Amino acid sequence: MNLIKSTGTFSFFTIISRLLGYLRDILVAIFLGTGFLADVFFVAFRIPNTFRRLFAEGTFNAAFVPSYSTEIVKGKTNSNNFANEVFNLLLLILLSLVLIIQIFMPLFVSLIAPGFIEDNEKMKLAINLTRITIPFLILVSLASFFSAILNTHNRFAESAAAPIILNIVLIIILLFGNFLDDKLVYYLSYGVTLAGLLQLIFLYSFVKKYLNIRLRIKLKVSKKVKYFFKKLLPSIFSSGVTQINILIGTIIASFQASAVSYLYYADRIYQINLAIAGIAIGIVILPQLSKQISFKNKKKIDFIQNKALELSLFLSLPASVALLIAANQIISALFGYGQFDENSVLNSAKALYYFGLGLPAFAMIKVFSSFFFANHDTKTPFYISLVSVLLNIIISVYFFRSIGFIIIPIATTISSWFNSILLFLFLKKRNLFSFNKIFFIRFFKIVVSSILMGLFFNYLMILFNHQLSFGNSLKSIYLILSVILGLGFYLMISYLIKAFQLEDIKLKY
C-alpha cells in the first residue's frame, strides 16, 4: 500500500464532498441565516450528522477492520459469516434504538436542545424535524459497515465518495428555497433521510463483490461478534470524541439565541482540513497497520506510524495557522451573504479562531487512536476520551454564563489537546509507538514552512483587505486566490527545505 496515494484518493473524494457541503451551507446561510429556522434545523440535522461522523469517519473501522482482517486470513467463509452476523445484530440494535427515540422524541429533543424547552414553537418544530431525520441514523450506520468492508480490501474511493450524495440531494432542494419558504426545513429534513437510503444502495453495489448479505435474526451470538461489539462502543466514543464534544457544545449553545448556528458554520470550515489530516490518514493506515501488527513486523509498524503522524502534521499545522490569521475573512467570504449578516460573521469567526487552535490536536487524536485500535485496544482511548469530555463539559458549563457560546470552542480545543497528549503518553508508556530519526528533522521543517506560509498569507490578507471586506460581492474569489497562493507558497517552501520530498509519493508502506 502507498500511504500518500491511498490518502490522496480518499482525500480527493472527501474534498469534493466538503466543497459540495460548503455550497450547501452557503445556500442554507442565504435562505436561513442564523435565525429561528436555522437553529431548529441544525439541531434536527446535528443528531443524524453526528452519528454519520461517528460511524462513517473511521470510528466503525476502528473496531471492525482489525477483527474482520483476522477473519479474512482464515478464509472467505469465516469472514463472510462474521460480517453477516455483525450486520444482522447491528441492524436489530439500530432499528430498536430509532424506534425508542421516535416514541420518546419530545424527551430526546429536550436532552439535545434544552434551551428550546421554554419556546413551544421552537420545540414543536425541532421534534417534527428530528422525527423525519432520525431514520438517517440507521441508513448511515449500515453504510459505514459497508465502507469498513471496502476499506479492509483497500477500496477507499467508494466510501469517501458516498457522502457526496447527501450534499447533492440537499443542494437540489435548496435551489428551490425561494418557492418553499418556511417549508424548506421540512424538505431538507426529508432530503437527509432520502440521501441516507441512496448512500446505502450506492455502497452495497460495490460491497456485494466481497459480501453476500443474509438477513437472519439469531438470539445466540458468537464469541467473535460479542468481542467486536464489546470494542465498538469504546471505539465510537474515543475515535469520535471531537464530534461528541461538538454535540455537547450544541446542547449548551441552545441556551443562547443563534449560538447553535455560529458553531455550525465555524465547524464546517475546520472539518474540511480535519477530514484529510486526521480522518483520511487514520482510515487508510488502519488495515495495513493491523496486518503488520499481526505479523509483528516492528520496522514496518514504526515506519507507518511515523509517516502517518508526519503527514497529519504536514497537513494540519499550516491550516491551523491560516485559520488563526484569517478567521474573519474566511467566514465572511464563504458565508457572508443574504440573511448571514456582519454580526453572524463576527461570532462565527470567533468560534473558528478557537477551533483553529485545536485543529492539530483534533487530527492527532484520530491518528494516535488508530495506533491503539490496530492493537485491538479500544479501552485506553475510551477512558482518555471520557476524561477529555468531562473536562470539556466542566469548562463549558462553568464559564458559559459569564463568557457565552465562545467558551464552547475554547473548551473543545483545551480538552482535545489534553486528549492528544494523554494518548501520546500512553502509547509511549506501552511501547506502542517510537519516533524514528528522521521525524524530528521533518517536524522542524514543517513548523518552519508553516510559519513562513503564515507570514505570506497574512501579507495577502493585508493586500486584499478591501476586496475581502464584507460588502464586496467578489470576496470569495479573492479568498480562493489567497488560499491557492498560500498553498502554493507552502508546498514550494516545503519542497525547497525538504519538509516534503517527491520520493515519499512513491514509497510503499
Q: Helices in 33-176 by DSSP H: which ranges?
A: 36-56, 59-74, 76-103, 105-112, 120-133, 136-152, 157-161, 164-174
pLDDT at 180 over 80: no
How far apart CA 329 and CA 334 sit, in angstroms, is 8
Lowest mean pLDDT among 47-51, 373-377, 382-386: 47-51
Q: What is the pTM of this model?
A: 0.77
Percent of the chain with pLDDT over 70: 90
Does residue 236 carry a pLDDT above 80? no
Range among 117-131, 325-339, 409-423, 427-441 rated most confident: 409-423
Judged against a pLDDT cut of 90, whether residue 479 lies above it is answered with: yes
Mean pLDDT of 120-146: 88
- Looking at residue 463, the DSSP 8-state letter turns out to be H
Residue 36 DSSP SS3: helix
In this prediction, residue 265 has a pLDDT band, given cuts at 50, 70 and 90, of confident
Cβ neighbours for 458, distance < 8 A, ≥ 6 positions apart: 325, 326
Res 395 pLDDT > 90: yes
Residue 490 to residue 85: CA distance in whole angstroms: 48
Q: In 3D, which of 273, 267, 233, 274 has the Cα closest to residue 250?
A: 267
Answer whether residue 219 shows pLDDT above 80.
no
pLDDT at 11 over 80: no
